[in-house]
Amino acid sequence: MPNKPQIKIPATYMRGGTSKGVFFRLQDLPEAAQTPGEARDKLLLRVIGSPDPYQKQIDGMGGATSSTSKTVILAEPTQPGHDVDYLFGQVSIDKPFVDWSGNCGNLTAAVGAFAINSGFVGKDRIPENGTCTVRIWQANIRKTIVAHIPITNGEVQETGDFELDGVTFPAAEVQVEFMDPADGEGSMFPTGNLVDDLEVPGVGTLKATMINAGIPTIFVNAEDIGYKGTELQDDINSDPKALARFESIRAHGAVQMGLIQNIEEAANRQHTPKVAFVAKPADYVSSSGKSIGAGDVDVLVRALSMGKLHHAMMGTAAVAIATASAVPGTLVNLAAGGGDRTHVTFGHPSGTLRVGAEAKEVDGQWTATKAIMSRSARVLMEGWVRVPGDRF
Q: In Å, how far are 12, 55, 133, 153 from 125, measured between CA atoms?
A: 23, 43, 8, 14
Q: How far apart are CA 26 and CA 246, in angstroms?
A: 36
Bridge partners of 376, per DSSP, are none
Q: What is the reported pLDDT for 362? A: 83
Q: Which pLDDT tens digits describe the chain residue by residue (392 residues)?
A: 678 899 999 999 999 999 999 999 999 999 999 999 999 999 999 999 999 999 999 999 999 999 999 999 999 999 999 999 999 999 999 999 999 999 999 999 999 999 999 999 999 999 999 999 999 999 999 999 999 999 999 999 999 999 999 999 999 999 999 998 886 566 899 999 999 999 999 999 999 999 999 999 999 999 999 999 999 999 999 999 999 999 999 999 999 999 999 999 998 899 999 999 999 999 999 999 999 999 999 999 999 999 999 999 999 999 999 999 999 999 999 999 999 999 999 999 999 999 999 898 888 889 888 999 999 999 999 999 999 987 66
Q: What whole-number distance in Å separates Cα of residue 102 and Cα of residue 100?
A: 6
- Residue 104 among the catalytic residues: yes
Domains 6-181+377-388 and 196-349 share a fold: yes
d(CA 169, CA 77): 33
Q: Residue 17 in contact with residue 105, Cβ under 8 Å?
A: yes
Cα–Cα dist 94/69, whole Å: 11
**Known active-site residue 132:** no
Q: Where are the alpha helices (DSSP H) in the chain?
A: 38-48, 105-117, 233-237, 240-256, 315-325, 331-335
Q: Which of these, 388, 383, 386, 387, lies nearest to 13 by C-alpha position?
A: 383
- pLDDT for 347 equals 98
Choosing from 14, 306, 314, 373, the catalytic residue is 314
| Residue 227 contacts residue 302 (beta carbons within 8 Å) | yes
Report the CATH number of the 196-349 domain: 3.10.310.10
Q: How many CA atoms are closer than 13 Å to the CA of 267, on its beta-carbon side?
A: 5
pLDDT score recorded for residue 183:
65
Q: Which of 14, 104, 210, 313 is catalytic?
A: 104
Model pLDDT, residue 223: 98
Quote the CA–CA distance of 117 and 121 in Å, as a whole number.
8
Q: Cα separation of 264 and 212, whole Å?
A: 21
How do the domains of the chain map onto residue ranges? 6-181+377-388, 196-349
Q: How many C-alpha atoms does 197 have within 13 Å on its Cβ side? A: 4
CA separation for the pair 358, 356 (Å, rounded): 7
Taking the C-alpha atoms of residue 72 and residue 95, their distance in angstroms, rounded to an integer, is 19
Sign of CA dihedral 156, 166, 74, 7: positive
Q: At what angle do helices 315-325 and 105-117 cross, to 10 degrees?
A: 120
Across-strand partners of 98? 91
Output the CA angle 94-95-97, nearest 5 degrees.
135
* Class of domain 6-181+377-388 as given by CATH: alpha beta
Cross-strand pairs, 371: 178, 357
What one-letter code names the amino acid at 98? V
